[in-house]
Amino acid sequence: MSDASLSGLRPGDTPSSSPVTRFAALRREIASPSLSFLMEAHDGLSAKIVQEAGFRGIWASGLTTSASLGLRDSNEASWTQVLDVLEYMADATTLPILVDGDTGHGNFNNVRRFVRKLCERGIAGVCIEDKLFPKTNSFIGEAQPLADVDEFCGRIKAGKDSQTDDDFTLVARVEALISGQGMEEALRRAEAYHRAGADAILIHSKKADADEIFTFAERWAGRAPLVIVPTMYYATPTELFRQAGISTIIWANHLLRASITAMRETAARIHEDQSLVRVEGSVATVKDIFRLVGNAELEEAERRYLPARPAPGAIVLAASGGEMGGLTLDQPKCMLDIRGQSLLQRLVGTLRESGVRDVTVVRGYRKETVSLQGIRTLDNDRHAETGEAWSLACAREAIRGETIIAYGDVLFRRYILDSLLTSSADVVVAVDTLGAQPRPGKRDLVAADRRFSGDYLDDRPAHLRLMAHEVAPGELCGEWMGLARFTARGAEWLREEIAAMEMEGLLEGADLPALLTRIATKHPVRVKYFTGHWLDVDTLTDLAEARNFT
């Protein structure tokens, strides 16, 4: 979104030296001779989405706000509950908000207090309708009773007298056409509300065509800005509203309706499949949620305000060539292309997203091809005759302080790494519960003192007993993902065990499962269970899956 949009400027406006307030921005939208659009939102996240889409204003719908709370649109949500939602919306966006104020939540006195509280929270305007409290949604039933004209004018005057910003906008919503009282009554009420001080008139209709809207607009003749809500007559071309001199169109409830459809489909599919496989690629990523709610700003603030702690380092073991046919003749597996990035680059990117900046990669096969900006490389020139533990020993100088150990041919979602980083254990390994039914081939299988219970809220710790390529079926708990985290104390244990294996003559041929099992006989090694969301790239099929892994 452009700076002009954020400041409330419309195309062609000239920026002034002082920023435009949200109150002034909404008034400019409503009063402009060109057609404006307000998009419905019902909470902080949907408000962010409205701004991201490029709209210049938000309609805080009473229907969708109530529905998002699981309540009916009949003033079941109190005005203080509505204010709480509005405060989150105002904090989440820089856009001006016009709130659906229903009837004003009571008589003139309720309107006075409501308007003052809206102004305190930076809500730029309110729309109140000429019906009785508690209200009933306009699309339910027929011939709903309307407020007395003079009494409703008193509500308008009370609202205008109570605003604390001169640019606060009060829109009077005329329900005469909805209630079947006809065009003359609609015009009579609109004129009275205009004289009482309403800044704009919202004329409402539930017919499938816009004929009575156009008739009203023609007879109204631009005496005040005219706002419409074409929920029922949505097929009318927008250009006809421009020609009719409509000021503002409110798209009143479509974000919530769209989310209901998507949530129903997703919930039904997960219930049917008892799996996330079919839905994971079609829904927004967790990373997108983090972006929308501003995690990056929080991370920057943490760097500014929290005491600095040593950043964790990582050692990536990428010395083996891998058996991928012709693809690995001239380069190791870690350098295979995954949609424009090497496998190693994708892995290092995930590490850096979690704050792991100091990355050491142990190279071996075709080591000259293993290159990536910002990493340090060490070489295992005996990669053809040694195992993973020897490669790790080549980087023992980098095992200091908090350390991540990862295979160079794995991909995993960031939340898995974040979970390891926030663990209180000195050594913690990421284990896939699906490993209880291991895939064909050589796998790092795990036996622990407690299996995954199936409940992710179950925080009882599990500890490693054995990690090997073969585990008795009755003891099998999962498959290691090739990802482990060590605190400074855990890193000291790791260095000690590498040295012990070297002294015993066992280091050269040992793999990481053997090393981790030895540590587990002396110190607690926490098992952290996950289900899916990672990939070990061992075959051409795995490589194809990696290109769809996000």
Structure token pair of residue 468: 């090997």
The answer to whether the CB of 136 falls within 8 A of the CB of 74 is yes
The alpha-helical segments, DSSP class H, found in 274-342 are 286-293, 295-305
- Counting Cα atoms < 13 Å in the Cβ hemisphere of 331 gives 12
CA 96, 196, 32, 176 torsion-angle sign: positive
Q: Measured between alpha carbons, how far is 376 from 361 in angstroms, rounded to an integer?
A: 6
Number of residues assigned to the chain: 550
Could you give the dihedral angle defined by the CA atoms of residues 217, 219, 221 and 225, in that order, rounded to the nearest 10 degrees? -40
Q: Fill in the amino acid letter for 550.
A: T
Structure token pair of residue 543: 């490589």
The answer to whether the CB of 333 falls within 8 A of the CB of 324 is yes
Express each pLDDT in 72-111 by its tens digit.
888 888 989 999 999 999 999 999 999 999 999 999 999 9
Helix (H) or strand (E) holding 51: helix 44-53
Helix (H) or strand (E) holding 250: strand 248-251
The answer to whether the CB of 406 falls within 8 A of the CB of 483 is yes
Q: For a pLDDT cut of 70, what percent of the chain falls above it?
A: 93
Residues classed as catalytic: 73
Q: How far is CA 482 from CA 318, 358, 521, 523, in A?
A: 12, 19, 19, 19
Q: Tell me if residue 273 falls in helix, strand or coil.
A: helix
Q: Measured between alpha carbons, how far is 344 from 350 in angstroms, rounded to an integer?
A: 10
Structure token pair of residue 117: 């509280």
Residue 271 burial class via C-beta count within 10 angstroms: exposed 0-12, middle 13-18, buried 19 and up: exposed
Express each pLDDT in 197-230 by its tens digit.
999 999 999 999 999 999 999 999 999 999 999 9
pLDDT tens string, the chain, 550 residues long: the values are: 333 333 445 544 544 445 789 999 999 999 999 999 999 999 999 999 999 999 999 999 999 999 999 998 888 889 899 999 999 999 999 999 999 999 999 999 999 999 999 999 999 999 999 988 766 666 655 667 899 999 999 999 999 999 999 999 999 999 999 989 999 999 999 999 999 999 999 999 999 999 999 999 999 999 999 999 999 999 999 999 999 999 999 999 999 999 999 999 999 999 998 888 888 888 888 888 888 888 888 878 877 888 877 889 999 999 988 777 788 888 998 999 888 889 999 999 999 999 999 999 999 999 999 988 889 999 999 999 999 999 999 999 999 999 999 999 999 999 999 999 999 999 999 999 875 455 666 689 999 999 988 876 667 899 999 999 999 989 999 999 999 999 999 999 999 999 999 999 999 999 999 999 999 999 999 999 998 889 888 888 888 888 877 6
Write down the pLDDT at residue 5.
37
Q: Domains (ranges, CATH) in the chain?
A: 3-10+22-252 (3.20.20.60), 257-283 (no CATH), 287-546 (3.90.550.10)
Helix (H) or strand (E) holding 464: strand 462-468
Residue-wise DSSP of 138-155: TTSSSS--B--HHHHHHH
- How far does the chain reach from its first CA to its final CA, in angstroms? 26
Structure token pair of residue 267: 């919930």
Other CB atoms within a 10 A radius of the CB of residue 445 amount to 23
Other CB atoms within a 10 A radius of the CB of residue 215 amount to 15
Place of tokens 């009482």: 196
Q: Tell me if residue 360 falls in helix, strand or coil.
A: strand
Write down the pLDDT at residue 84.
95
Please state whether the peptide bond connecting residue 19 to the residue before it is cis, i.e. omega within 30 degrees of 0.
no
Q: Measured between alpha carbons, how far is 177 from 184 in angstroms, rounded to an integer?
A: 9
CA 115, 120, 125, 131 torsion-angle sign: negative
Q: Which residues, at least 6 apart from 71, have a Cβ–Cβ distance to it below 8 Å?
A: 77
Q: Measured between alpha carbons, how far is 448 from 480 in angstroms, rounded to an integer?
A: 11
Residue 281 burial class via C-beta count within 10 angstroms: exposed 0-12, middle 13-18, buried 19 and up: exposed
